[in-house]
A and B are shown apart, each in its own frame.
Chain A
Amino acid sequence: EIVMTQSPGTLSVSPGERVTLSCRTSQSVRTNLVWYQHIPGQAPRLLIYGASTRATGLPARFSGSGSGTDFTLTISSLQSEDFAVYYCQQDNSWPYTFGQGTKLEIK
């Protein structure tokens, strides 16, 4: 089973800042990496798939990059609605696994 490691666990940032979240996999997943956003009490939301393809309707301030074992999700200018927990998931090897999440909180 592929182990997903996200860092940091929590990130305190101010609106308007640029943030980069990291996801590492225990073995190569090529570009089969997905990012989700979860605001507590709401359904998780698909953000990025294929490591860098934005989901329909996702604002351009969100971008994903990486391949192999190292991936990043970048939010270029944080908006108030972006404070949430972000999860990565690999869809390369069965069973498909998730990271522990990175929480973005308001500084």
Chain B
Amino acid sequence: QKEVEQNSGPLSVPEGAIASLNCTYSDRGSQSFFWYRQYSGKSPELIMSIYSNGDKEDGRFTAQLNKASQYVSLLIRDSQPSDSATYLCAVNPDQKVTFGIGTKLQVIP
């Protein structure tokens, strides 16, 4: 079992819709959880971090964490074509961050 599991997609949503990206992780000792956005050919960029169960909102982005279910999600409201990218879920079970393979999001105008 991989440490961080994501569906590779692509996930296609129409412009203005809510995009929902999901991730599960295996190590119950993980304390911090991150979402990175990566445009094609570019390096990852941190967009959200979450450490406690529940929701954390930042603008159009909401991260959700459920440690009991070992589940992390990212919601993007009012999706824009500029949101089209790969979204990497990342978890730190120890002193380094482990990444999933990323979910490719396509926002259709």
Q: Do A and B come from one complex?
A: no
Interface residues of A (CB under 8 A from B): none
